[in-house]
Structure 1
Amino acid sequence: MGTGSSRRVGRPRAAQRPDSGLEPRAELLAAAAELFTTRGYAATTTRAVAERAGMRQASMYHYVSGKEELLADLLESTVTPSLARARELLAEDAEGAAPAEDRLWELCRTDVELLCGGPHNLGGLYLLPEVRTERFAGFHAVRAELKDGYRQLLAATAAGGALAKSELDLRTDLVFGLIEGVILVHRSEPERSVAEFARATADAALRIVGV
């Protein structure tokens, strides 16, 4: 029997599995997200990631340089959508725009939905000691810009505008810490509606601000 019609053409695979339809790099990121959050980053080898993605370890290096690149991309993916939303909300700061309180609430709600809505607890990766190294400067840069977006919206509220700089910085830290910490709370009750949880967290954030 000929093999031309039954053999899959493409990169060699270590094991057969249902085709996800993802591009190779996306397959690797999905595999890394699962393994880093279930087995742990240090305990996960590049070979394990490659096999979970359905390819040979040697093939993996055509798409990524290794575990650090995968982790950096996953970390940034938890921030960049919220940063894009923060930029949109800040750009609305004009006559006729929604009040800053409403825009801050919306950023909090959106951010929580993004953090808690995925299949894996990627927020837990923030605590890895490896993340403090220079290799992850890109993640820290986008995270800092997102935090500054929170600060600008908070400062534009009536309550925030009356605060001294040190108090404004403190409340920004508290709000940002609340948002990033919710993934740990939600993990203990995964059956809770993410939308409901996001709205409740946004309400709590505005109470911290003083609204």
Structure 2
Amino acid sequence: MNLTGPGRPRVRQSTRPGATAREEILDAAAELFTTQGYATTSTRAIADAVGVRQSSLYHHYATKDDILEELLAGTVSEGLAFAREVANLSDTDRSDTGDPASAVVVASRLHAVALFDGAHLCSGRWNIGVLYHLPEARSERFGSFMQDREELRGLYRRIGTAAVHVPLWDGDPLHHGELAFRLVESLVSLRADGQATPDSPLQVADAAMVLCGAGEILGSIRVESLALIDRLGRRLPDLAEAGRS
């Protein structure tokens, strides 16, 4: 018998993906939050979507906010961990040395972070990134998520500062990392409009490089970017089967 908690059988057999009841609850909540709205979704509706009693859901999550907190954290955790590693790389090659090879190396770091982060943002069944715009997500209750998102944004800027030095206008440098960060988050809107494809994260990372003035070495940057992801022991998620909602 499939149990949702100690001695509590399911109301019905779940057909949701997930190795555990918590994963099934997260999947159901993600669907309901992104398609019906957070405020209008009750814990009873989430429990019904999983096929468990509401009391069984409370065994895993005490409140609806706890579910939202875990979903939000999941949108930044992989990208943040990867960006931290990239930012802490030991070599200090900079594109302003005039060495083309060095320019490729440092620019590829920003490209790799954008590609890896964007691919994970697009990899879930549900477009959880739309929840960033919830008024609730900006509250103190979700301060941990906001801190992680701001740290990720700061790492984009830190990595981008060294990448390509091209002024946007006289006397004012372009914040390359900020541009890349914003382009990656635009994938959320692309998915919401049904326009995202498995190629979208790469296209966004490429676009960031072109707008940063590195279009002429984009091919080399791509090669080095993918090699960097591999060297750090990461794999890009397979987006072919990911939800486009």
TM-score scaled by structure 2? 0.73
After superposition, what is the alpha-carbon deviation per residue over 1:128-180, rounded to whole angstroms, capped at 9, x for unaligned? 11111101001001111111110111111241799999745x54433222211
Counterpart residue number, 1:143: 149
Counterpart residue number, 2:226: none
Q: CA deviation at 1:18?
A: 3.6
The 2-side partners of 1:76 and 1:103 are apart by 23
Matching residue's letter, 2:197: S
Counterpart residue number, 2:115: 109
Q: Find the partner of 2:91 among 86, 89, 94.
A: 94
Any idea what SS the aligned residue of 1:146 has? helix
The 2-side partners of 1:172 and 1:144 are apart by 13
Any idea what SS the aligned residue of 2:144 has? helix
Cα pair distance change 1:94/1:165, threshold 3 Å? farther
Q: Find the partner of 2:190 among 165, 170, 185.
A: 185
% identical equivalent positions: 38
Counterpart residue number, 1:64: 61
- The 5-angstrom pairing of residues 169-180 of structure 1 reads 170-180=175-185
Judging by fraction of residues, say which structure has more strand.
2
TM-score scaled by structure 1? 0.84
Contact 2:26 2:71 in 1 (8 A): yes
The count of corresponding residues between Structure 1 and Structure 2 is 202
Cα pair distance change 1:157/1:44, threshold 3 Å? same
Counterpart residue number, 2:27: 30
Counterpart residue number, 2:12: 15
Cα pair distance change 1:18/1:118, threshold 3 Å? closer
After superposition, what is the alpha-carbon deviation per residue over 1:114-136, rounded to whole angstroms, capped at 9, x for unaligned? 11121101010100111111010
Contact 2:83 2:113 in 1 (8 A): yes
